[in-house]
Amino acid sequence: MARESESGLPIEPVYGPLDLAGWDPAEKLGEPGSYPFTRGVYPTMYTGRPWTMRQYAGFGTATESNARYRQLIAHGTTGLSVAFDLPTQMGHDSDAPLAHGEVGKVGVAIDSIDDMRVLFDGIPLGEVSTSMTINAPAALLLLLYQLVAEEQGVSADRLTGTIQNDVLKEYIARGTYIFPPGPSLRLIADIFRYCRAEIPKWNTISISGYHMAEAGASPAQEIAFTLADGIEYVRTAVAAGMDVDDFAPRLSFFFVARTTVLEEVAKFRAARRIWARVMREEFGAKDPKSMMLRFHTQTAGVQLTAQQPEVNLVRVAVQGLAAVLGGTQSLHTNSFDEAIALPTDKSARLALRTQQVLAYETDVTATVDPFAGSYVVERMTDDVEAAALDLMRKVEDLGGAVGAIEQGFQKAEIERSAYRIAQETDSGERVVVGVNRFQLDEEEPYEPLRVDPAIEARQAERLAKLRAERDQPAVDAALAALKKAAMGEDNVLYPMKDALRARATVGEVCGALREVWGAYVPTDAF
């Protein structure tokens, strides 16, 4: 009897040559580092060096997060990944009424350039690659990073890293949006232009399926809706007058890695193949780098359990292996205690050690795409690709990613998938170790890391001091120039940088743009 994959596709007990009848290796595979990039975006992949080991961290104040970053670097992390608290993600200062109770909780609170200086104190920004999980206010955090680098004497052309900057998935699955889709896409196009001119090595967007997966999307939905968002961003940039080969090489993606190893490997391979064809056939890209789907992976936080949390060490190892076998360019492995609270120093170190074991103690880095030609993986790659393309056609029929978002299509599809998963878990059809099978009569006590609730008051004090010390007329003039640019067609990042340099806060800059562009109100029309 066949099982079903996470995408609801059949998994046969045995696969053989007939499952690949008529299958053309030249068309489907190519060589590693060559179109259609099914086997990986680089010819040597990990045989030369392993993926970037990037640990996602940030909590409380900039001072506390800075200490965690220094520890991670000392333990061998090769790239930082910054988590911001909800007020920062939503463009509110820590002393705003809407920020109450959330300051420093799910990430670090950044209100101004003062906080950014502390966050990266003693960290050489010309030598470290930094990823920032920030979307609606991504331009602000990138400019603050650039300003701090300039103060360190590091020129912008030396900076490397990524801003997530993927606001479309916020409307679909996550909710940390600020502005309506139209102005949000305009802001993203301005970021593309700015980085091409000012920060050429920076990855300007990380088009994310991770958060859709966390909301319940299946693997096929994850890549379909993510690639559909990517197509919308490319169309926006081309419509703004940019040549596809001028910006597409800096696009990157962000996916989840689940415990279902075979389908996850197939998903990553299918996503690369779809994107390569879209970029070549729809957008006429000529630079091979424009056709490469380069991606970061994070292990599946939604699959971690608060029950018997040590079992999550096994889950994370398996998920990390799936990401590596699928050809990821960088990887974050979750800490085993993240289902309970923020990771402790020890659990964060164990998460990093998991990657290091995969890289240095196994043989998965010895050869490129070890599953190539596997009957099951090649058939599953084709099946996931077909399911994703079908969903992408439905998105196109609704007017593309924005049109489908406005009609609630992606959100409704993901909710159906999430409901199916919940039903299967509740019935016991889907086994979750420690939750619906193999439980303990009594859980062992665990002491989680807790964020000091006094952080909010301290951040408010810092903001009051900043506002008292700064040149307020200069701030007012800079914000006025920003609003003027937002009302017209000038790139808003240049006056935005001036405002942030003058010590305008994140909330004040986002507030100025809200006055011009308005705020998004969601619909559930589909």
Q: How confident is the model at residue 77 (pLDDT cuts 50, 70, 90)?
A: confident
Return the DSSP state at 394: H
pTM: 0.92
- Crossing angle of the two packed helices 219-239 and 261-277, in degrees rounded to 10: 20
Confidence of residue 28 (pLDDT cuts 50, 70, 90): very high
Higher pLDDT, 400 or 1: 400
Does residue 214 lie within any of the structural domains?
yes
Asked if the model's pLDDT at residue 336 lies above 60, the reply is yes
- Domain count within the chain: 1
Q: Which domain holds residue 168?
A: 3-18+42-427
Residue 237, domain member (yes or no): yes
Arithmetic mean of pLDDT, 9-36: 94
Question: What pLDDT, on a 0 to 100 scale, did the predictor assign at position 1?
Answer: 52
What token pair was written down for 455?
A: 């952080």
Looking at the domain assignment, is residue 471 inside a domain? no
Q: What is the CATH number of the domain that holds 320?
A: 3.20.20.240
Q: Looking at the domain assignment, is residue 454 inside a domain?
A: no
Q: Is 93 in contact with 463 (CB distance < 8 Å)? A: yes
Rg (CA), the chain: 23
Domain presence at residue 332: yes
Say if 493 falls within a structural domain. Answer: no
User: What is the phi/psi pair of residue 107, to 5°?
Assistant: 180, -170
Work out the average pLDDT over 294-302: 96
- pLDDT tens column, 491-526: 999 999 999 999 999 999 999 999 999 999 887 655
Q: How confident is the model at residue 117 (pLDDT cuts 50, 70, 90)?
A: very high
Task: Dump pLDDT digits (tens) for 254-292.
Answer: 999 999 999 999 999 999 999 999 999 999 999 999 999
Whether 62 is in a domain gets the answer: yes
d(CA 264, CA 26): 22
Coil vs helix vs strand at 427: helix
Share of the chain above pLDDT 90, in %: 88
CA distance 206 to 194: 16
Residue 479 counted as domain residue: no
CA-to-CA dists, residue 263 to 132, 268, 285, 384, angstroms: 28, 9, 29, 8
